[in-house]
Amino acid sequence: MDAHRILSLLPSTTEIAGALGLADQLVGRSHECTLPAGVERLPVVTAPKLDVHAPSRAIDRRVKELVREGLSVYRVDAERVRALRPTIVLTQTQCDVCAVTPADLEAAACEWIGAAPRIVSVAPNALADVLGDVVRVADACGVPARGAALRAREQERIETISAITRAHAERSGRRPRVASLEWIDPVMGAGNWLPELIERAGGESVLGRGGHDAAWSSLDELTALDPDVLVVAPCGFDLPRGRAELPALASQPAFAALRAVREGRAFLADGFLHFNRPGPRIAETLEIYAEMLWPDACDFGRRGAAFEPL
């Protein structure tokens, strides 16, 4: 296998490269890439064009302003990218807000000196896409057998967990109605692969559709749905940041009146590490949903570390 110089601009593709045994071929990363261990030593080539420490509402307003003006949410350090001389660049086409897209690389590519790198874009719109992207990255990096093996292992984990939760749902005679939020202020229902994971966990997704982008909602809609289980996993926020932002939603009387909140089935989860990274740990997200839905039957050790009751 010929060694590559891999530049990963997406946390999930950085993890995929690591899981494929290619960590030593990574030469650069995005500002959000934190895994596998040791990746923090790599040069960072991206930066957000907004204050990531601002409140949820302010972040949303700034993102919408940039998108409305036809601007990217991220800056790419073209000079540093060229200096790293990558032969493969891993990025995504799915969401302009979540990470750098191929369009963001155009400025860097315009002045490229020498051979331009191969750009490999992932598009995890559904669970099958998430698993397929593992193979896509592996094929591009010249390790197709590793990609097939990694996909098979993760698929097996998913099927095993799904069988467990399906059995519990059948025995209980019910499928909890689940609202999973991807943003707090304003409210946004999770989409893409997450509704499918909810279904596989033995629940029914009532806010957001599988295979479709996350959709804006409201507390009024959430109140009308009145789900059995509520999951708050803000995009890009870890548990401490989620706790800090939660009052924008939780302080409203209608929130406290929700069935899930009253019955102690409302949870805050680590969106940054577990709900916004469609990569080689996707089965862990399924385990988290399973523990939330079936606490008496499922214990994968995720409570406390990846999620907590509100």
73, burial (CB in 10 Å: exposed 0-12, middle 13-18, buried 19+): buried
Are the folds of 6-123 and 148-309 the same?
Answer: yes
Look at strands 46-48 and 74-76 and give their pairing.
antiparallel
Provide the whole-model pTM.
Answer: 0.91
Closest by CA to 228, choosing from 294, 131, 154, is: 294
pLDDT of residue 268: 98
- For the chain, give every domain's residue range: 6-123, 148-309
CA angle 156, 158, 161 (to 5 degrees): 110
pLDDT of residue 214: 83
pLDDT digits (tens, 9 = 90+) for 208-255: 888 888 888 999 999 999 999 999 999 999 999 999 999 999 999 999
More confident residue, 166 or 213: 166
More confident residue, 69 or 113: 69
d(CA 245, CA 256): 16
CATH of 148-309, one of 3.30.420.480, 3.40.50.1980, 3.40.50.970, 1.10.10.10: 3.40.50.1980
d(CA 259, CA 265): 8
At 76, the pLDDT band (50, 70, 90 cuts) reads: confident
pLDDT digits (tens, 9 = 90+) for 259-296: 999 999 999 999 999 999 999 999 999 999 999 999 99
CATH of 6-123, one of 3.40.1400.10, 3.40.50.2300, 3.40.50.300, 3.40.50.1980: 3.40.50.1980
pLDDT of residue 200: 97
For the chain, the first-to-last Cα distance in angstroms comes to 49
301, burial (CB in 10 Å: exposed 0-12, middle 13-18, buried 19+): exposed
pLDDT of residue 209: 83
